[in-house]
Homo-oligomer: A and B are copies of this chain.
Amino acid sequence: MADLVAYPMNGGDGLYSYSKNSNFQRKAIDAGKELIKEAVSEKLDIKSFSSSNTFRVTDLGCSVGPNTFHAVQNIVDAVEQKYQSQGHNSQLPEFQVFFSDHISNDFNALFQSLPPDRRYYATGVPGSFYSRLFPKAFLHFAYSSYALQCLSKVPEEVVDMNSPAWNKGRIHYSKSADQVVKAYTTQYAKDMECFLNARAQEIVCGGLMAFVVPGRPNGISHTEVFVNTAKELFGSCLMDMAKKGIISEEKVDCFNIPQYIASLEEVEAIVKANGYFSVEIMENLTQEKPPPKVFAIGVRSGMEGMIRKHFGDEIMDELFDSFGKKLEESSSVLESKKSVSLFVLLKRRATE
């Protein structure tokens, strides 16, 4: 559960800050690290970029670090290695890295923690990755980690009490009626289409795009996914508070988490229908399940802004305490759930 629609990760470096609580994501980055090296080594055709002596990388949904710094350094290292292995030692490119996230991201914190010994020119790009962020044919490598599960918005039907897709008493879709699931699936497909269309314009032909997201193994139902079960538990904590009269039930009814956990099959179908990219690598990475307390703090660091905005400051501590307890009580159930990350590597097709 990383970045959410227009609600930034917690900035700074306090107890609940994203920078102190993003180890969970860090492990997926490490798992993807080798795949990216492999991809650059085998799939990147540096000859086709030779006209430009700058190699441009973006991290979309970069948040505040340090994960983004490790990730982009890994890409820079891999590209340098590729140039060297092909005897282009004397003409190593200059690197320019574009750290991108919502306009509400803490770019000040990001810039202030930039690695002093970086070998790239660093820039920040504010905006949603569901629309254009860069000029045409500008990027050589686009990367995104734990961000593309976030939808551009909550599907409208699920918070509309007059819709058959109204998701009453729940904040997510995994245990909901088919109409709710369909509303989420449709929103995800629409958003991915926007994402791919925007990137297709921005990435040079032959350029690569890698993304890592929490995922669902093919053929496994939504209810069997660890992060979905955790969200159901989180929703039940909110409903408990509503039953105690601490918050109103209506407030819960009109709150839904705009995240969708897709499978590789779904991603592949969307990419193929879009047509601008070829699928080069697709893998399920086994995702370690963090201990309940660590997970609760991790969720807090990612979702605090959004929850606070909707429900107010007062409930935060009680809510996350009860969530932590519920995670512990349900640990054997959670243990049986699937926790994978999807790693997807795409290449921008040459335009006919």
Contact = CB atoms under 8 A, between A and B. Distances in A.
Given A103-B112, A108-B107, A111-B107, A94 B135 contact: yes
Nearest to A122: B126
A111 B96 contact: no
Given A122-B125, A125-B122, A126-B124, A136 B103 contact: no
Contacts of A136: 53-54, 94
Contact of A121 (B103, B107, B132): B132
Interface residues of A, number: 27
B108 A121 contact: no
B135 A54 contact: yes
A149 to B, nearest CB: 24
Interface string A136-152: 10100000000000000
A333 to B, nearest CB: 41
Interface in A91-150: 94-96, 98, 103-104, 106-108, 111-112, 114, 121-127, 132-136, 138
A61 to B, nearest CB: 15
A133 B120 CA distance: 9
A188 to B, nearest CB: 26
Contacts of A132: 121
Contacts of A122: 125-127
